[in-house]
Structure 1
Amino acid sequence: MPLRRFVNWLVMSVILFFVISALIFVLVSLTPGDAARAIVGPTASQERYEQVRGELGLDLPLWQQYARWLGGLFQGDLGDSVVSGVPVMQVLADRLEPTLALIVCTFVCASILGIVLGVVGAARPGVVGKAADVGSVIGSAVPSFWIGLVLASVFAVQLGVVPTSGYTPLIDGLGPWLSHMILPIVTLTIGGTALLAKQTRDAVAEQLSQPYIVLLRAHGVSERRILWRHALRGAAVPIVTILGMKMIGLTSGTVLVESVFVIPGFAGYSVNATLLHDIPVVQAITLIFTIVIILTNLVVELVYARLNVKETA
């Protein structure tokens, strides 16, 4: 990755962070509700309400609240939850594992299944290819939370083979952990696999029609080697693009799925924090998701640069 391109990426990443964090700060302040009112209750006196607002710094102008948050961030302090008083770092640490496990497992499963089905569909464009197209449309059109509700109704409620909700830490055993995570992972994997399979099939099919593939076949190269080594490599750019979009999409897709399966992750917790105007928690979660987006874009850029080097070599 050239130095100039990296500097441009770094500058854009810093701008993106400030824009997103400021925008979230403003949007949360505009939502109905008040953290001070949630703390003191609806029957508290106006004097008590104003006192709590002052203690939380909610009586300051919005730009001053944002400046205080930025100052704490640059010192490594994300502040305390205005609702519970617990340090934000502790809140996020307690909820990091479920969200991280859901994102990583879904990304790995969707990537493997999507690429394999796409390559097979390109090699066999008949029934398999049409099935990939139909599955892509269905997977993209059906909301993930609806898929989650259907899966929970069938496998958790009717069949009772897995728990309906909750989360068991991985340290307590792989079996209990998997029993709670399998339905959420499958829910998020369905849509991502369908879209990736179609894009992979189209990209690989285009590569298989290129003249260099005909030349490789003329030299006696096996179809399996042509398909998995040459055609798939030639189709890597659009596939990497979809993978990057998939990773970014999971940062928002986990919110609804965690709510459906009552998983104590910080993606779902951000909804409650927003409703309660718990701005430090919302800003911290936004910061993490923004970093994920920025790092994903960096990885995609590095892969692009690597692919370009191989093509020119």
Structure 2
Amino acid sequence: MTTLIIRRLLLAIPLLLIVSFITFFLQSFIPGDPALSLLGPSATPEQLAALRAELNLDQPILAQYGIYLSGLLHGDLGQSIFTGQQVIDSIFERLPVSLSLIVATTAVSVLIGTLLGVVSATGGPFIARLTDIASLVGAALPNFWVGLVLVSVFAVSLTWLPATGYVPFEISPEMWVQSLILPVAALSLGGIATVTKVVRDGVANAMSMEYVRTLRAAGVSRGLLIWKHSLRSSSVTLVTVLGVIFVGALSGTVLVENVFVLPGLGSLAVSATARQDLPVIQGVALAFTVITIIVNLLVDISYGLLNPKVRVS
């Protein structure tokens, strides 16, 4: 297990470098001029040239990346072109919002998906087919469209929940929950569909195994067979799927946070792209990569704990 962790951490280093270079290279194709966006259309050519030189925008792309990489290796992600705030500070300010949304989405996906999967596996052909249709529809609907529908129904028409905004947990736990209900519901549909499918197949397969039939003949209750023995057999696959759901929710925050006006990393990425704030774009991309690496590492560790055959000593 120790060797597995070390290998994953060593692989993370070149991955971060590759992602940083690709992001830096691709953002150079964003149309527009950051200097012009910052100074406005009334700026003189001399002012624009001076600002481009100050921001190193007059350098070749490889030279710009070299300057950025030098700062990155010293723990400096740069500062926002428009606000002057350190990028690392902006990321840590908004990270709790995105993590709250993603963790809640993953938890809801697991709880509801597991329940629906068990019901689908044990409820007969009609229930199984109905669950399959619902899962297919849930996976196909775009989360930003679902978010708009939820806002229209539950925030505008019924006025049960706030349409936009985020309240930190330390200010009001109740309002924190209320501010997350609609965005979590919008992000969870795809995850619920995936977990339902995985759990349904795992439980159905386990219930047909010889050892389960033996336990049933020995008088073990049906509930215990399902919730203990059958679910355990699908736990490894479910852990892998959880990693996929978490990373998928991470990418989904880019749209959902803007629909619900949540001050997270996703909305920060969109606003930075619109303003061509290159250091912030680069910082958010690295933050997403680091989170993905950590999640995949935790999945690998969990996989090794659940399945001793894959452990590496």
For the aligned pair, the TM-score class normalised by the smaller chain equals over 0.9
| Residue equivalent to 2:235 | 236
How many angstroms apart in 2 are the aligned matches of 1:310 and 1:233? 16
Alignment of 1:135-214 (within 5 A): 135-214=134-213
On the 8 A contact 1:29/1:277 being kept in 2, the answer is: no
Q: Deviations over 1:149-170 (max 9, x none)?
A: 0000111111222222122222
How many angstroms apart in 1 are the aligned matches of 2:87 and 2:181? 29
| Residue equivalent to 2:285 | 286
| Residue equivalent to 1:59 | 58
The letter for the 2-side match of 1:174 is P
Q: What do you get for the CA RMSD once the two structures are aligned?
A: 1.9
| Residue equivalent to 1:102 | 101
| Residue equivalent to 2:222 | 223
| Residue equivalent to 2:269 | 270
How many angstroms apart in 1 are the aligned matches of 2:238 and 2:31? 41
Q: % of aligned pairs identical?
A: 41
On the 8 A contact 2:304/2:310 being kept in 1, the answer is: no
On the 8 A contact 1:33/1:275 being kept in 2, the answer is: no
Name the TM-score, length of structure 1 as normaliser. Answer: 0.93
Cα deviation for residue 76 of structure 1 reads: 2.0
How many angstroms apart in 2 are the aligned matches of 1:176 and 1:221? 44
On the 8 A contact 1:34/1:276 being kept in 2, the answer is: no
How many angstroms apart in 2 are the aligned matches of 1:311 and 1:61? 47
| Residue equivalent to 1:16 | 15
How many angstroms apart in 2 are the aligned matches of 1:175 and 1:9? 39
The letter for the 2-side match of 1:150 is V
On the 8 A contact 2:198/2:234 being kept in 1, the answer is: no
Cα deviation for residue 183 of structure 1 reads: 0.7
How many angstroms apart in 2 are the aligned matches of 1:297 and 1:2? 15
The letter for the 2-side match of 1:40 is L
Q: Deviations over 1:212-238 (max 9, x none)?
A: 211222222222221111111111222
Cα deviation for residue 311 of structure 1 reads: 10
| Residue equivalent to 1:34 | 33
On the 8 A contact 2:199/2:234 being kept in 1, the answer is: yes
Cα deviation for residue 49 of structure 1 reads: 0.5
| Residue equivalent to 2:79 | 80
Cα deviation for residue 186 of structure 1 reads: 1.1
The letter for the 2-side match of 1:258 is E
* Secondary structure of 2:170's aligned partner: helix
Cα deviation for residue 147 of structure 1 reads: 0.4
Which sections of structure 1, spanning at least 5 residues, go unmatched? none
Q: Kindly tell me: are residues 2 and 100 of structure 1, through their superposed partners in 2, closer, same or farther at Cα, counting changes over 3 Å?
A: closer
Cα deviation for residue 310 of structure 1 reads: 8.1
How many angstroms apart in 2 are the aligned matches of 1:168 and 1:242? 30
Name the TM-score, length of structure 2 as normaliser. Answer: 0.93
> 103-112 vs 164-173, which deviates more?
164-173
On the 8 A contact 1:121/1:129 being kept in 2, the answer is: yes
On the 8 A contact 2:166/2:179 being kept in 1, the answer is: yes
Paired residue total = 311
* Secondary structure of 1:78's aligned partner: coil
How many angstroms apart in 2 are the aligned matches of 1:48 and 1:36? 9
The letter for the 1-side match of 2:82 is V
